[in-house]
Structure 1
Amino acid sequence: MTAHPGGKEEKDNNPVNVFADKGAWHAYALPEEKDEKTWGGFSGPLYIAQEYPWWLSDTFSKLRLTEDGESLDLGGGGKPEFTGLPGRLRQTYRLEGGLRLTMELRYATNRTALVRARIENTGDESRRLGASWSGKLLRPEKKPMRDAPELRGTGRGVGVDFAKVRETWDYLTDGTERFEVRHGEPVRTAVDGDAYRTELKRAVRVRPGRSAELDWTESYTFTAAERRREVARAESALAAPRVVAEAGDVRWRGYVRRATEGVPADRRRLAVKSVQTLVTNWRSAAGKLKHDGVTPSISYKWFTGGFWAWDTWKHAVGTARFAPGLAKDQIRSMFDHQITKGDKRRPQDAGMVPDAVFYNDASRDGGNWNERNSKPPLAAWAVWEVYRATGDRSFLREMYPKLAAYQAWWYRNRDHDRDGLAEYGATIDPANDSEEEARLAAAWESGMDNAPRFDAKLGTKALENRDGAGKPVGFSINQESVDLNAYLAADQRYLGRIASRLGREGAAREWRARAGWVNRAVRESMYDPGTGWFYDTSLDGDRLTARGRGIEGAVPLWSGTATRDQARRVRSGLLDSEHFGTPVPFPTVARSSPYFAASTYWRGPVWIDQAYFAAEGLRRYGYGRDARALTSRLVEGTHMGDSRPLHENYNPLTGASLNAPNFSWTAALLLPLL
């Protein structure tokens, strides 16, 4: 359960859109325009208890200005303005008597936000003002997390310490976490239970035509070492707040310029929103996460504190367009946990990249860490896109052996019949303790969890895989999936490019030959001439056409696998309103399928990654006009260009947004799609 402002608890989705930057683990929102009680402060913070988001307060640092002992009305001169800008939140108030208050929140570091309050005097008389801040804890409703936060006054402001709580599915702290507000000028603080008041010791004098600034930082740290480091960084920010602000503005202007390059004018706002979504979901290294990465969504409880493999590959492709350094670290964040030959628990999985890694693994009460399956192999594509953005051959050298080991793992552990075509499957893992659990893990490994093609009722089951010595090494499902093998062929082609750039021409030829073989096998065994579509096949070689058409059948266009004639037939299916040319195009299951369900996760909704693969596939085969038209219908039909957040997926018939808001791979692949 995730607590939200006002004490209400929502099950999974946070309805408040927040902003974070630089990989911080706490975030803020603008105040409610209709709720004057929230004016004068930024909503929040929303802090992440290692893996789960919780609101610390509705407004923890609310600024109050006084004159002659009386509070100044922040709405006295008219309606305030609340604005979310690239890289900062801003609120502006016009007070009676010619005073204007502007507050801006930016991030100085990956653990510290900087808030600047500027008081301008546009009147004719000097003003002598008092300034104070107040806030109150918003405690979780249930124990033991209810008792975790404790408010403390400090010499520089106020802090919140957190008790140790190890609730695997709701709240995780070690008792070393701290949230701390630090003021740039001398203050005094009084704490009364869960409420506090901090008062500036001096009066603020503002002459006519002049202004005065009040600066403070708000830091959220996990460990004592982080806290010690952050004290110095916060002090540095308070010593030079203008430098911090200017550096942040320069960085964000670069983000916007690079992300909108080549984007039509009417789509640039959407491109900037995509950047803002990705940056807010950026988490810096912490706990078991050794490099910075991008979580799927800070707004959804289960997506807040970890990184997923194929999400990461897609995030990196989008992020490389405006922040290639972050894109590199995202890829590293997953390969940090690649299984090696020396692994004591699962040496048979050497080369595998786990499905999901979090702040905590199982040894530290982490329930979300997942090594019972992997995710589709798109990592070489991501590495190549980063190289295209940077020209950094050292990154290619760093990643090449890891990518090669990942490829080898697929064919060693996920080719049940040793015919060179792979299957989705599962690892030897305590959670995969039955055929049904192994089948479920295999569906997760595809990333398309509940797609009809993985239904047990339709004949999908898990089979045990063994090595040459007869030792179990994992499981495969009893079908070879078209998307998996197209992805593998594409990654082999990218590995060939990488090897060539590194001067390994012999290896490059081998990768190209392998990709060519896989592409031919997919073309010959998985394409059905009768329906003009690609399908998964059984291990006996039968095309599983009775399960209906899925959007995965368009992936061979993106990968360059299809022949020209096959691509022409697939194009017809993508345009046909009875199949994939729905009002909002590219549903995950064809409208004609008996298993189509417009709002049911992978059984019909439009996912932007699959839309990207289909649209890029059309472009690859010369159907650029169709790709542009379908993309326009996609963007306009979902209203992604307005102020609403980008969602995980969309109803293909109505365009209604579905599931997690502020979803990262939607944002990431919109950037190249636009």
Structure 2
Amino acid sequence: MAVGFAPAADARPPDGDANGNLSSYATGTPSSYADVLDLQGVPASAQPGEFNPVNVFADRGAWHAYALPSAGDPSTYGGFTGPLHIAQEYPWWLSKSFSRIRLTEAGKALDLAARGTPRLTSLPGLLRQTYRLDGLRLTLELRFATDRTALVRARIHNTGHAPRTLAADWSGTLLRPEAAPERDAPALRATPRGVAVGFARVREKWDYLTAGTERFQVTHRAPVRTTVTGDTYRTDLAAPLSLAPGAARTLDWTESYTFTAAERAREAASVRRALTRPAAIAASGDARWRGYVASVTRGVPADRRRLAVKSLETLVTNWRSAAGRIRHDAISPSLSYKWFAGGVWAWDTWKQAVGTARFAPRLAQSQIRAMFDHQIRPTSATRPQDAGMIPDAVFYNNPADGGGNWNERNSKPPLAAWAVWEVYRHSGDRAFLREMYPKLAAYQSWWYRNRDHDRDGLAEYGATVDPANDSAEQRRLAAAWESGMDNAPRFDAGLGTSVVANRDASGTVTGYSLTQESVDLNAYLAADQGHLADVAGALGDTAGERRWRGRAAATHRAVRERMYAAEDGWFHDTALDSGERLTARGRGIEGAIPLWTGTASPAQAAAVRDKLTDPGEFATPVPFPTVARSSPHFAPQRYWRGPVWLDQAYFAQAGLRRYGYTAQARTLTDRLLTTAHGLSARSPVMENYDPLTGAPLNSPNFSWSAAVLLPMLAQD
């Protein structure tokens, strides 16, 4: 059973209502949450490209997803677009529409476009299509029954005055990749209850990964017959449908995507349950989504609730259940971007868990576990010196399995204790705190053991001893990645950034540090030490609480006294050798983190406030760019050199609120939400935005943006 999935109710609700809805869902969720995201579209080819132009829907951690057909293209009517499936790490379209239903009467196909454009609707937790025919109404609904299976229901309602006898069939065609060996991977075959697609083994590290055991399978509730011709199949309902006036029949089928034979064997029982009690499965899912929606809209102004629901849908679609080396349910950054679809990143996870905890605390716990599953142990055969470290990113495959995306060259900023504490605030689960406490402590220890070159209590971003970190430039690059702000000006080699080796007592190299101590890193460490004190206190460890509070106070004090430049009213990184504040590199949004963490003194916070509210600095048309507008390095569309990232915007506005600048925080936040393109419309939540124009940049349907929007909208 997938994380966050409530068991189906014992009572079986009616199949539908007089309006053709297959459940009472529409009356339980306000129609104002219909189509918060444009989910219509059909792919042109099997490979979506780096950025998939079709927004999709998934649920329960499934590794396949769907969209609605295009309203203006009748050839797509009768089926759901897709599925989009993840070949272990990369998304591919299996079909334009794998299961298109057709109704015939007296041997003649009924035209689904005869009475005009159908109503194509996405609602929280489901996709729906409604077709009005002469004397008939056809309603299709797709939900996910489990983390491997979608449940599709087709309800045919005789709205006329005469009895009708109909036949039904389904058809679909594979959308093959263009080049070998990917082209030859999928193969169709008929099954006794439908059709299946098997996949050959392909190990294209940067494009397509299958083990030869994956399968996509359609299973019908009613008896059917299937024939396969090349890449096309047709499944016919074995018996005709007889409908008296006013009567309705529902045809149910499942669409499952599994990776292994063991998964398939387990899923067979779930498919049987879904087809035995489809109405109960649908009702249970609808109730779960009503709870999700109620949670994310609580405390949110009415005019912002659609954005909250869009953020919710973004996070759930990017939810991936345990598979391969990902051992717990987690959330990927974006199913819409080739390189983000099949993996899990550390600091993405910390922020995503904070947002997810608002509607699904168990899922939030699970994604934190998904990263800590790979925390380096002292017994590690390859990197025992990194005991306690959390790798940057984990994927379905690690390097031993041929995966190229897995990354242990660096870690990511230490926000894990914040995430754990925020999840606890929503769940009240002390057992989770007990589980995580020693792991969080080990992660803190790693930072000071392997990333504090001069042992002065201020840490540096850096790189691990790793085959890929085989040169000074590669180590500098890994250290920039470790910050999460990959190409920020403060990490430019041309501005003097370099790396030095860190060694243990025996002289063995244990890792590398940048020649600068970073303000955001140390503010994050101070905050996490405070949260570790909170955890210790909640667990009754008074000595531990006292120890962590002392460490937090010392780290806050070091940042406050050594990283603030009074001459320009901003916090800066400092030079490792001299302690000089690196003001010549310009102001970056990282200098606002000490407000969010409560590190700054009141006078320092006032000075930072002045910069955050200055249109020539950080109060750009879309506020909180990653580099100040005044900086010579400001580039509004270059990743971490100017675009607005919503996580940093969240930290900045929350920092203003923390120090009492509530009105300014509200004004800037409202401007951001209004000016960032598409946030208040049906466009996807983006990775980042142009601070001058609001234009969307980089990955659509980006998880951490969606996650931090939830507390931002609730003004937490």
TM-score (norm 1): 0.99
Please give the secondary structure, in 2, of the residue aligned with 1:277: helix
What does 1:279-428 align with in structure 2 at a 5 Å threshold?
Answer: 279-428=316-465
8 Å contact from structure 1 (residues 317, 668) kept in 2: yes
Match of residue 578 from structure 1: 616
Match of residue 282 from structure 2: 245
Match of residue 91 from structure 2: 53
Match of residue 218 from structure 2: 181
Which amino acid in structure 2 is aligned with residue 294 of structure 1? I
2:705 paired residue among 650, 666, 670: 666
Q: In 1, Cα distance between the equivalents of 2:521 and 2:193? A: 56
Q: Which runs of 5+ in 2 are unaligned?
A: 1-40
Q: In 2, Cα distance between the equivalents of 1:480 and 1:59? A: 53
Offset from partner CA, 1:335-361 (integer Å, 9 cap, x none): 000001000100000000000000000
1:17 paired residue among 25, 30, 55: 55
From the superposition, tell whether residues 66 and 175 of structure 1 become closer, same or farther in structure 2 (CA, over 3 Å). Answer: same
1:482 CA drift (Å): 0.2
Instruction: Confirm or deny that 1:453 pairs with 2:490.
Output: yes
Please give the secondary structure, in 2, of the residue aligned with 1:217: strand
1:156 paired residue among 193, 204, 207: 193
Instruction: Confirm or deny that 1:140 pairs with 2:177.
Output: yes
8 Å contact from structure 1 (residues 606, 651) kept in 2: yes
Match of residue 657 from structure 1: 696
1:11 CA drift (Å): 3.5
Instruction: Confirm or deny that 1:619 pairs with 2:663.
Output: no
Q: Count residues with an aligned counterpart.
A: 671
2:126 paired residue among 66, 88, 94: 88
Instruction: Confirm or deny that 1:443 pairs with 2:443.
Output: no
What does 1:253-268 align with in structure 2 at a 5 Å threshold?
Answer: 253-268=290-305
Instruction: Confirm or deny that 1:71 pairs with 2:116.
Output: no
What does 1:528-607 align with in structure 2 at a 5 Å threshold?
Answer: 528-539=565-576, 540-607=578-645
1:232 CA drift (Å): 1.5
8 Å contact from structure 1 (residues 291, 333) kept in 2: yes
Match of residue 232 from structure 2: 195
Instruction: Confirm or deny that 1:493 pairs with 2:530.
Output: yes
8 Å contact from structure 1 (residues 373, 444) kept in 2: yes
Offset from partner CA, 1:133-154 (integer Å, 9 cap, x none): 0000000111101000000001
Q: Which runs of 4+ in 1 moved over 3 A?
A: 8-11
Which amino acid in structure 1 is aligned with residue 691 of structure 2? P
8 Å contact from structure 2 (residues 46, 177) kept in 1: no
1:77 CA drift (Å): 2.0
8 Å contact from structure 2 (residues 46, 176) kept in 1: no
8 Å contact from structure 1 (residues 599, 658) kept in 2: yes
Name the % identity.
Answer: 68
8 Å contact from structure 1 (residues 535, 543) kept in 2: yes
| Higher RCO, 1 vs 2 (CA within 8 Å, ≥6 residues apart) | 2
Which amino acid in structure 1 is aligned with residue 76 of structure 2? T
Q: In 1, Cα distance between the equivalents of 2:368 and 2:62? A: 19
Q: In 1, Cα distance between the equivalents of 2:46 and 2:60? A: 29
Q: In 1, Cα distance between the equivalents of 2:588 and 2:45? A: 43
Which amino acid in structure 2 is aligned with residue 314 of structure 1? K
Match of residue 266 from structure 2: 229
Q: In 2, Cα distance between the equivalents of 1:132 and 1:6? A: 25
8 Å contact from structure 1 (residues 313, 378) kept in 2: yes
Q: In 1, Cα distance between the equivalents of 2:45 and 2:322? A: 30
1:468 CA drift (Å): 1.4
Match of residue 35 from structure 2: none
8 Å contact from structure 1 (residues 4, 10) kept in 2: no
Instruction: Confirm or deny that 1:7 pairs with 2:7.
Output: no
1:280 CA drift (Å): 0.1
TM-score (norm 2): 0.93
Match of residue 526 from structure 1: 563
Match of residue 15 from structure 2: none
Please give the secondary structure, in 2, of the residue aligned with 1:255: helix
Match of residue 642 from structure 1: 681
| More displaced 10-residue stretch of structure 1: 549-558 or 228-237 | 228-237
Q: In 1, Cα distance between the equivalents of 2:356 and 2:375? A: 22
What does 1:22-33 align with in structure 2 at a 5 Å threshold?
Answer: 22-33=60-71
1:477 CA drift (Å): 0.3
Q: In 2, Cα distance between the equivalents of 1:487 and 1:236? A: 47
Which amino acid in structure 1 is aligned with residue 501 of structure 2? E
From the superposition, tell whether residues 8 and 160 of structure 1 become closer, same or farther in structure 2 (CA, over 3 Å). Answer: closer
From the superposition, tell whether residues 289 and 320 of structure 1 become closer, same or farther in structure 2 (CA, over 3 Å). Answer: same
Q: In 2, Cα distance between the equivalents of 1:324 and 1:458? A: 43
Instruction: Confirm or deny that 1:127 pairs with 2:159.
Output: no
Match of residue 18 from structure 2: none
Please give the secondary structure, in 2, of the residue aligned with 1:531: coil
1:8 CA drift (Å): 6.8
Please give the secondary structure, in 1, of the residue aligned with 2:644: coil
Please give the secondary structure, in 2, of the residue aligned with 1:303: coil
1:207 CA drift (Å): 1.3
